[in-house]
Amino acid sequence: MNENYHVIRIQQYLNGKLSREEMYQLEREALDDPLLQDALDGYGMQDEVSHRRLSLLQQRLAARIAVQAKERNAFYFGWQRLGVAATACVLMVLVLVLLWIRRHPETSRATEKEVHVELASPGSRVAIHAAAVEGDGLDALPEGGWEKFNAYLASAGSGTGATGKVTLAFDIDAQGKPTSIRETGNVDDRLSGAARRLLVGGPLWSGTRGVVAITFE
């Protein structure tokens, strides 16, 4: 048997590259040549083993790909669920805050104490009672207390000729003087001017910010 020649023909035979006549001829030769028959059987078994190994590798690869895909999907859906849960929590907190604000509107506003100002007829003394408007960050206090401030208003407030109520917000500078004075709400210009003059010409203040309401009657 020509070994090299038969090896090539055997490989072509096993790979299906021979014609029907050539395959029939090789099979007839194998019947007369035991060595050729053994070679055909051996190469056939080797090819079958190779195919089995390849099939096993393909199965393992397919299983590994399926596991990785499952892990990726689990990771993606896990983070997606966490994101949805976090968004729902934030929205719930916002809704609760809005509901709380709607039910407790008084906590978001400064509580205003009434300031009673009584002006007598021309020539008589004027009695004025003043107090602060309370709120977060409002710590202004007139020098000498509110009694001294009321006494000042009683003496300086006569002759203004204005009636009504004005609320002034202001800051306090390093010297204790009211600064950045501003009205809250719509007020008469004459009433606003009189209230500003009373505040600027009055005693010094301690603290940083204040709001005071003055009523002229």
DSSP symbols for 149-208? HHHHHHHHSTT----EEEEEEEEE-TTS-EEEEEE-S---HHHHHHHHHHHHTS--EESS
**pTM strictly above 0.75:** no
- Determine the pLDDT at residue 1: 47
The structure tokens listed for 181 are: 């004075």
Whether 106 maps to a domain, the answer reads no
86 or 45: whose pLDDT is higher? Answer: 86
Do 174 and 134 fall into the same domain?
yes
pLDDT digit string (tens) for 78-88? 777 888 888 98
Sign of the Cα torsion 144, 149, 154, 160 reads positive
The range of the structural domain enclosing residue 48 comes to 3-98
Whether 85 maps to a domain, the answer reads yes
The answer on pLDDT for 204 being more than 90 is: yes
Do 121 and 94 fall into the same domain?
no
pLDDT digit string (tens) for 134-164? 888 889 899 988 888 878 887 876 555 667 7
Do 92 and 153 fall into the same domain?
no
Do 69 and 158 fall into the same domain?
no
Sign of the Cα torsion 97, 102, 104, 105 reads positive
The CA-atom distances, in angstroms, between 74 and each of 68, 78, 81, 131 are 10, 6, 10, 66
- CA dist 123 and 209 (Å) reads 35
Domains identified in the chain, total number = 2
Whether 104 maps to a domain, the answer reads no
